Amino acid sequence: MDASESLSAGHLIVRELEAHGVRRAYLVPGESYLDVLDGLHDSPITPIVCRQEGGAGYMAVTEGRMTGVPGVAMVTRGPGAANVMAAVHTAHQDATPLVVFVGLIPTSHRGRESFQEFDLTGWFGSTTKKVLVLDDPDKAAEVVADALHTAVTGRPGPVVVGLPEEVLTQRTTASALPPLTVGVPAPDDGDLTEVRARIDQAERPVLIIGGEDWPQATAERIARWSADRGLGVLGTFRAYDGIDHDSPNFLGILGYGAAPVAERVFAEADLHIFLGCVRTDVATDGFTLGTEQKTIVIGPDPDAHGHFGRLDEHIVTSVSRFAARLVAADGTPDYAVTADGAVNEVGEGESGGAAAPELPAWITAARAELEAWRVPKPAPAEAEAGPGFVDMDEAFTHVRELLPEDAIVTYGAGNFSGWATRFLPTHAFPSALGPRNGSMGFGVPAAVAAGLVAPDRTIFCIAGDGDFLMNGQELATAAQYGIDLTIVVNDNSVYGTIRGHQDRDYPGRATGTALDNPDFAAMATAFGGLGIRVERTADFREAFAAALDHRGPALVHCITDPAIRGARL
């Protein structure tokens, strides 16, 4: 920028986002940050106008998870900031890069209980990596660069940036800055030697995968390496798409709704290798399962936040960098490693493919048990969905058959998500988008963002009735931007997960969990999509096929038995 040229701080913020490769900003507009909105007018960044800040935040979380570039949400002060809090908490617990810009009152109004005033750090300080406030227009680019850098370094997470209203319109001659370099340490030879030795000494070593650093080449390398080393592989809770589930050593997913075989493999292992994740309360069933094994943690977080139990070796690096070094150290075929650790595929004919290794008998047996568990069980006569209800176990046999293998599956929190995690294997990252912090209302906005990020893939959302209505209004956003997605709503007229806890702990005294629902199919039609109501299992396949074929938002409203709140065990 010429020294005589100036622009507003709000416009410089947009320039800095452009310099970092941000492609979309998910927002609910507010008068507190009008100058940033004006900067977006002539920007290649697409503003995605959402219907509620919760939906905008979840969409930004999804963008960050799918791309590795921090998702960007923009909201206004006070109530707008309050509405986005759930998404910030999701990014915090899920370790997802997110930057939320919050418009603020003018600086001269601070401390006077002004209209929509609140304490930005007081609200967000405990659930973010950093809270920044732009009080100097000359530092607009610096603050944005700091926020985006912080969101992706170490353990990824959310950063909140406050934008005082009058500062945004002040002029500055500052220029946009280049992105800060993200330094990623590489494991040294000693680290890998120790990992190899621990694996060789173990009888039942298990690799637990998670996190979001799983490009396809990395996923394939880890799959080959784990099979070659005789490792069983488990996915962690709602972050299990880092390996093709057709891999013969993939043995299931930990956490709520886990297959019994996955829990047993985890508990009986004598070595846990956590790659991109750590040992948490969810994976260990409340710190009761598999907490004493010898443990290796490999990931970018030097503090191993959230890890519980033993920690015998800690390698601070990214998943992709670790995979690259493994190829170099172990001589895995079909890849060439450059001096800086980058991995390039070897051209055809340059290296012969290795024969698939023979897996240990305990892995083969566990895999067979997992395969049997993933087949929906016929309902016993006394448990069959009655007339006027859809049997979701049987319905998901059709979902699995009709969805293409590269489909992206989204869901919020609730027992209904178990049908997706149990019956829909994934084959490439990203393919499963769910909130690891158990936040309801995530699935619909996640599906909208997934459709924007990957318009060439099929987007499927499974939602509960309570879950859907928390952010179902974002169907309007899907229609506005021409998103092609299919939603199945499991309508059992109850908050099923909580009702299950009530039935267990307070039998016969269920209170505060019943729902009286609208016609979700009619709602989808009103939003400009296709809506189909299904009350019989026999009608589901045809309805779901029609929804998949529809261009734009489509919803299948399944009426289900309130007494059946999850997949049959």
pLDDT of 381: 55
- Does the residue 347 lie in any domain? no
Q: How many domains is the chain built from?
A: 3
Q: Domain check: are 315 and 399 in the same one?
A: no
Residue 1 lies in a domain: no
Which of 397, 398, 438 shows the shortest CA–CA distance to 417?
438
Residue 14 lies in a domain: yes
Tell me the pairing of strands 271-275 and 205-209: parallel
Residue that is written with structure tokens 């299948």 in the block: 556
Q: Please check whether residue 264 is in contact with residue 283, taking contact to mean a CB–CB distance below 8 angstroms.
A: no
Indicate whether 167 and 236 sit together in one domain: no
Residue-number span of the structural domain to which 18 is assigned: 7-172
Q: Which residues of 333-363 are buried (b: 16+ CB within 10 A; e: fewer)?
A: ebbebeeebebeeeeeeeeeeeeeeebbebb
pLDDT at 74: 98
Three-state DSSP state, 360: coil
3-state secondary structure of 359: coil
Residue 564 lies in a domain: no
Residue that terminates a domain, selected from 146, 172, 198: 172
- The residue out of 140, 172, 204 marking a domain boundary is 172
Q: What are phi and psi of 109, to 5 degrees?
A: -95, -5
Residue 352 lies in a domain: no
pLDDT confidence of residue 494:
74
- What parts of the chain have a pLDDT lower than 50? 3, 333-353, 382-383
Domain with 129 in it: what CATH number? Answer: 3.40.50.970
Please check whether residue 567 lies inside any domain of the structure.
Answer: no
568 domain residue, yes or no: no
> Is residue 444 domain-shared with residue 486, that is, in the same domain?
yes
> Same domain for 431 and 527?
yes
Task: Write down the pLDDT at residue 183.
Answer: 85
| Residue 199 burial (CB count, 10 A) | 17
Query: Are 193 and 164 found together in one domain?
Result: no
Secondary structure in 3-state letters for 50-117: CCCHHHHHHHHHHHHHHHCCCEEEEECCCHHHHHHHHHHHHHHHHCCCEEEEEEECCHHHCCCCCCCC
The pLDDT of residue 112 is: 72
Q: Is the dihedral of CA 466, 468, 474, 475 positive or negative?
A: negative
Same-domain status, 167 and 253: no
If asked whether residues 277 and 401 sit together in one domain, one would say no
Residue 112 CB partners (closer than 8 Å, separation 6+): none
Give the number of other CB atoms < 10 A from CB of residue 201.
Answer: 11
Residue where a domain stops, chosen among 366, 385, 408: 366
* Same domain (yes/no): 64, 161: yes
Nearest-CA neighbor of 43 among 210, 176, 234? Answer: 176
Contact in structure between 234 and 207 (CB atoms under 8 Å)? yes
pLDDT digits (tens, 9 = 90+) for 79-92: 999 999 999 999 99
Q: Residue 169 — φ and ψ, nearest 5°?
A: -90, -5
455 and 537, same domain (yes or no): yes
CATH number of the domain bearing residue 249: 3.40.50.1220
Cβ contacts of residue 204 below 8 Å, gap of 6+? 232, 265, 268, 269, 270, 271, 360, 362
Enter the pTM of the model. 0.91
Q: How many CB atoms lie within 10 A of CB 126?
A: 10
On whether residue 541 sits in a domain, the answer given is yes
Q: Which residues contact 104 (CB under 8 A, 6 or more apart)?
A: 32, 77, 120, 133, 162, 163, 164, 165
* Contact in structure between 323 and 225 (CB atoms under 8 Å): yes
Statement to judge: residues 242 and 287 lie in one domain? yes
Q: Do 394 and 493 share a structural domain?
A: yes
Whether 147 and 107 map to the same domain: the answer is yes
